[in-house]
Amino acid sequence: MEVCKILHMNYGDGDKGYAKNSLLQQKVISMAWPIIKETVEDFCNTLNIPITTLSMADLGCSSGSNTLMIISNLIKLIQLHNNKPTQYQIFFNDLPSNDFNAIFRSLPNLLEDLKSQIGDNFIGNNCFFNGVSGSFYGRLFPNKSLHFVHSSYSLHWLSQVPQGMEIINKGNIFIDSTSPKNVIKGYYKQFQKDFSLFLKCRGEEIVTGGRMVFTILGRTDEYPPNTDYYCYDIKFMNLILNNMVTEGLIKEEKVDQFNIPKFRPSPEEVKVEILKEGSFMINCVQVSRIDWNFYNNGEFDGLLSNNNVCGEVDSSYYFAKCIRSVYEPLLIFYFEEAIVDELFQRYSKIIKDEMSNNKYEYINLTVSLTKI
């Protein structure tokens, strides 16, 4: 599978679009903000001389408001410092299939909001925005050209499905409790290869003393992973696909050939690769949890009410839509659109039942690094 050619979130701001269904990702960024804030403030405080142009990049930015939110918050934070730059160079990076146009259509509103919040000291003409199309598992920027790099919920995507999964992982679309041990080993090796290359490339692009913060879907247990613990969202999809095979709606070999290019590492696995690659010093690795039912906590009531929700929020409805906005393009590439539509209708029902009776959560790893 050539992931870089087909992986993207659902386009547009319609009912199925990622832009309308990424509140979970927004919540994750908000949870990571204290670490991002501390990292950027430390960078600003350790500058010996002011930077004329501060360059920062959001890697795996996707589309919608989340990437704009993090850039806006970063600019507002940096503007508070005495060593604030006179210009900002901002890079939005994702794969070529990403909807970059949606980001650039939103930039005028972003600049207006920044000016209204920062005041006359902020000049929008001093912000230069760029779209950078390409995989972050390769070079994207010139040597020593970036001061700060951010990435959220992107690095758990692999550059490719590990080789041979269609043979040794039959009946599964990811690591599962029924997967042989060499499936786990294959996914882990692919993660090691990809993550090490990511670190090497960023190590060449970030200035000495520059910072990087990323948040990745992970797990708390060590290798080999307790697979039932950390991938129920995919496990439910797997169950539905196998049921559709039994019903004759999908050919068995189609499911066997489909594997999701993701890996959710433990904190130790992340630390080992960072130390082994050697370009960065680890400032902190924080483990956090987000309950799939977080939509009920009242934080996003204003946004949810725009979707005609009255009374108690049905978290399962929004969680299922979020998962669909992420995985649907990948699934449509392998299966017919009608099959995928049926899959997610069933998925919504399973998620509703499961979330009514069980507690599910994601484990997030937020990592702050300094370029050596």
* pLDDT tens digits, one per residue of 6-37: 788 778 777 888 888 889 999 999 999 999 99
Buried b (16+ CB within 10 A) or exposed e, 305-335: eeeeeeeebbbbbbbbbbbbbbbbbbbbebb
pLDDT value at position 92? 97
* pLDDT tens digits, one per residue of 270-279: 999 999 999 9
pLDDT value at position 37? 97
* pLDDT tens digits, one per residue of 279-313: 999 999 999 999 999 988 766 655 554 444 455 67
HSE on the CB side for 103, CA within 13 Å? 24
What residue ranges in the chain does DSSP mark as E strands?
Answer: 53-59, 87-94, 127-133, 146-152, 206-218, 280-291, 361-371
Q: What is the pTM of this model?
A: 0.92
Amino acid letter, 101:
N
Asked if residue 116 has pLDDT above 70, the reply is: yes
DSSP per position, 126-145: GEEEEEEES-SSS--S-TT-
d(CA 1, CA 260): 10
d(CA 175, CA 288): 22
* pLDDT tens digits, one per residue of 307-351: 444 556 789 999 999 999 999 998 998 888 889 999 999 999 999
Which residues make Cβ contacts (< 8 Å) with residue 157, sequence separation at least 6?
Answer: 3, 7, 60, 261, 262
DSSP letter for 225, please: P
Pick the CATH number of 3-371 from 3.20.20.140, 2.70.70.10, 3.40.50.150, 1.20.120.1630: 3.40.50.150
Give the pair of three-digit tokens for residue 86: 């006179």
DSSP letter for 122, please: -
* pLDDT tens digits, one per residue of 117-165: 887 777 777 899 999 999 999 999 999 999 999 999 999 999 999 998 9
Domain assignments of the chain as residue spans, ordered by start: 3-371
Q: How confident is the model at residue 84 (pLDDT cuts 50, 70, 90)?
A: confident
Asked if residue 229 has pLDDT above 80, the reply is: no
Asked if residue 195 has pLDDT above 90, the reply is: yes
Percent of the chain with pLDDT over 90: 68
Asked if residue 224 has pLDDT above 60, the reply is: no
DSSP letter for 19, please: G
Tell me whether the omega of the peptide bond preceding residue 142 falls within 30 degrees of 0, making it cis.
no
Buried b (16+ CB within 10 A) or exposed e, 228-266: eebbbbbbbbbebbbebbeeeebeeeebbbbbbbbbbbb
* pLDDT tens digits, one per residue of 204-213: 999 999 999 9
Q: What are phi and psi of 317, to 5 degrees?
A: -60, -45
Q: How confident is the model at residue 233 (pLDDT cuts 50, 70, 90)?
A: very high
Q: How far from each other are the two terminal CA atoms of the chain, in whole angstroms?
A: 35
pLDDT value at position 348? 95
